[in-house]
């Protein structure tokens, strides 16, 4: 029964994401499938409820279909719609929504359920992959209509405190395998913030923008 619900949910969501692929350059189906896979791995490591984790992973970024550069709350109605169509119960939908909200990078803290830990670690891992600043950062900028200044400030303001509080990752599995990547990635973004204060670099970016390079 659980697998049937997930299969129905994927059958509903995948066409929507593929249809929106040109708009969802960062938070597209590639992101969703990665987060789903890793969230299940992390859930297994801490005995979290896999059905709730998998459904939350599949629906956690529906807000970006509703509105670019938005917060998870924007996707609540769409999550409820698709989860209901996939035969999730009202109690399951409530629990999934809570997991999505508690795992959000911008607001999460020390108090989080095992399901929230699994989703958070998977979503956070995508942000800290070594390839993300090379390949996907520009896609995020384009998708969400922000510039490098806003993205760098978002990354550092949200993620530096998580490192300081030792909750960048929650599961030991994620910490052991990926925390070094995360620290190196965040160091890069802290250097970006420092670099953006340099007048010569500001000039490079201005000229590049004027030429249509950015």
Backbone angles phi, psi at 78, to 5 degrees: -70, -40
pTM, to two decimals: 0.95
Domains of the chain by residue range:
2-210
pLDDT at position 18, please? 96
Q: Compute the average pLDDT of residues 11-18.
A: 97
2-210 is classed in which CATH architecture? Orthogonal Bundle (1.10)
What gap in Å lies between CA 64 and CA 144, rounded to an integer?
9
Q: Compute the average pLDDT of residues 132-154.
A: 95
What gap in Å lies between CA 150 and CA 130, rounded to an integer?
20
Write the pLDDT tens digit of every residue in 17-61.
999 999 999 999 999 999 999 999 999 999 999 999 999 999 999
Q: Compute the average pLDDT of residues 92-111.
A: 97
Query: How much of the chain exceeds pLDDT 90, in percent?
Result: 96
pLDDT of residue 1 exceeding 90: no
């Amino acid at each position: 029964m659980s697998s049937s619900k997930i299969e129905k949910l994927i059958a509903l969501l995948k066409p929507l994401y593929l249809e929106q692929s040109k708009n969802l350059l960062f938070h597209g189906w590639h992101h969703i499938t990665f987060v789903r896979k890793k969230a299940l791995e992390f859930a297994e490591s801490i005995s979290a409820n896999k059905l709730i984790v998998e459904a939350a992973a599949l629906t956690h970024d529906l807000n970006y279909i509703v509105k670019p550069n938005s917060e998870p709350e924007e996707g609540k109605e769409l999550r409820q719609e698709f989860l209901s169509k996939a035969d999730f119960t009202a109690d399951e939908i409530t629990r999934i929504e809570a997991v999505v909200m508690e795992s959000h990078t911008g607001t999460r803290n020390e108090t989080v359920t095992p399901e929230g830990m699994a989703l958070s670690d998977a979503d956070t891992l995508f942000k800290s992959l070594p390839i993300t600043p090379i390949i996907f950062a520009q896609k995020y900028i384009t998708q969400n209509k922000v510039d490098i200044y806003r993205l760098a400030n978002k990354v550092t303001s949200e993620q530096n405190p998580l490192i300081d509080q030792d909750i960048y990752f929650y599961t030991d599995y994620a910490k052991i395998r990926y925390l070094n990547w995360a620290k190196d990635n965040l160091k890069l973004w802290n250097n970006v913030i420092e670099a953006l204060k340099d007048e010569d670099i500001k000039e490079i970016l201005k000229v590049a923008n004027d030429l249509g390079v950015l």
